[in-house]
């Protein structure tokens, strides 16, 4: 609250001049994930997240927060709740099973004799 607010809020200010706000019930803006593409031909890369009341304002906030130093030529904003993420606790089952399976890489195989143009 700015000190000037009291001029327009006088009818709501209780005795003592303190406006009670309960952080638990105060509504906050939804969270958005920001993706910035630095130049043509590259993909959008996750840059961070921010709060905004809607997608249009999220784009503007992203412009102010993530492209102030000529970082971007394009911005995507995605509601954070629209992202389904892998569970960090189950990374064993998710990602580590690929380890040791060298035959999934091309370098595992030796070049057969007589095969040209490889």
Partner 1 sequence: MSDTVGFTSQDSATRISMGNAITAEELASREDRASEEVARYALILGDDSLMLAQRLGHWISRAPELEEDVALANIALDLLGHARFLLTYAGSAWDKTEDDLAYFRDEEEFRSARLVEHENGDFGQTIARQLIFSFYAYALYSRLLASTDETLSAIADKALKEVDYHRDHAAQWLMRLGGGTEESHRRMQTGLDTVWTYIEELFIDVEPTTQLAEAGVAVLPSALRDEVLTQLSTIIEEAGLRVPQAKGAFGADRSGRYSEHRGFILAEMQVLAREHPGATW
| Sole binder of partner 1 in the list 30, 55, 57, 79 (CB under 8 A) | 57
Residue from 34, 2, 36, 32 nearest 19 by CA: 2
Q: Which residues of the chain form beta strands (DSSP E)?
A: 31-37, 45-51, 74-79
DSSP 93: H
Measured CA to CA, the distance from residue 15 to residue 40 in angstroms comes to 59
69 contacts partner 1 (rule: CB under 8 A)? yes
Stretch that binds partner 1, among 55-63, 79-87, 92-100, 109-117 (CB under 8 A): 55-63
CB of 75 to partner 1, least distance (A): 10
Q: Could you list the residues that contact partner 1 (CB under 8 A)? A: 1-2, 4-5, 7-9, 28-29, 36, 38-39, 45-47, 50-54, 56-57, 60-61, 63-72
């Amino acid at each position: 609250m700015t000190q000037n607010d009291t001029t327009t809020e006088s009818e709501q200010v209780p005795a003592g001049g303190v406006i009670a706000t309960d952080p638990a019930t105060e509504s906050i803006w939804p969270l958005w994930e920001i993706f910035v593409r630095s130049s043509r031909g590259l993909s959008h890369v996750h840059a961070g997240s921010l709060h905004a009341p809607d997608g249009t304002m999220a784009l503007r906030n992203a412009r102010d927060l993530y492209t102030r130093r000529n970082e971007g030529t394009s911005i995507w904003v995605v509601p954070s709740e629209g992202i389904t993420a892998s569970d960090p606790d189950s990374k064993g089952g998710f990602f580590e099973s690929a380890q040791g399976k060298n035959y999934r890489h091309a370098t595992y195989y030796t070049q057969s004799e007589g095969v040209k143009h490889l």
